[in-house]
Amino acid sequence: MNDLLKRRQLEQKMKAEGRLPPGQSATLDFPVLHYGPTPGFSEATWDLRVFGLVDQEMRWTWAEFQKLPTVKITTDIHCVTRWSKFDTEWEGVRFRDFMKLFGVKPEAKFVIAHCEYGYTTNTPLEIMMDDDVMLAYKFDGQFLDQEHGFPVRTLVPKRYFWKSAKWLRGLEFSATDKPGFWENAGYHNEGDPFKEQRMTRRGFF
């Protein structure tokens, strides 16, 4: 069977199961999308920091981070450029469990992901506490490819994929919302694929 036919059949099935958001088509590949070049990785200098409205600011080296307990999830991902990929398999540290390591102050309402080269994206803390949100470092049983965010990315399946921040270096807990890179460029602040929250206004591009 050719790929186009496979994709159309998958779309029918996912539509019937209520898993195909409006305006999306199925992909069998794993497209790479980001702004700017792919950063390198140096274990000697890499760290992951949490800061802002937390009880204790902390940092992990790559070796330390890999010792944290992980979970595996199978989920669908939806890119605002209209591809959806179904039943993707990820492993990483569940965000809700991760939060217990440093404690989050009650005033914190938003999580801002900070990445290499200054990319940021914002998500309400309430969404980040869902079961399916993780700091992912394996895809399909293998470490992430560099271009897909190695060593660590956030995975926020219930939002368009731009909220899943590649090359993560910091997580900021904030009382106020801080729209990030694409949100400032005109993408919707919430980005729920099932509500088709794609673009809002003209941004800075």
Ligand X SMILES: Nc1nc2c(c(=O)[nH]1)N[C@H]1C(S)=C(S)[C@@H](COP(=O)(O)O)O[C@H]1N2
State in Å, rounded, how far the first CA of the chain is from the last one: 41
Least separation in angstroms between CB 64 and ligand X: 21
112-151: contacts with Mo ion (CB under 5 A): none
Which C-beta is closer to ligand X: that of 3 or that of 147? 147
SS3 for 134?
strand
Pairwise CA distance, residues 190 & 126, whole Å: 12
| Interactions with ligand X, residue window 76-105 (CB under 6 A) | 79
**137 vs 167, beta carbon nearer ligand X:** 167
Secondary-structure breakdown of the chain: helix, strand, coil percentages, each rounded to the nearest 5: 20, 30, 50
Q: Pick the stretch among 27-35, 43-51, 55-63, 90-98 that binds ligand X (CB under 6 A).
A: 27-35
Q: Show the site string, 156-175: x = touches ligand X by CB under 6 A, - = not.
A: -----xx-xxxx--------
CB of 13 to ligand X, least distance (A): 22
Interacting partner of 35 out of Mo ion, ligand X, none (Cβ under 5 to 8 A depending on kind): ligand X
Task: Tell me: does residue 115 bind ligand X (CB under 6 A).
Answer: yes
* Alpha-carbon gap, residue 137 to 168, rounded angstroms: 10
Strands (E), 63-195: 71-78, 83-94, 110-115, 120-124, 134-139, 142-143, 153-155, 168-174
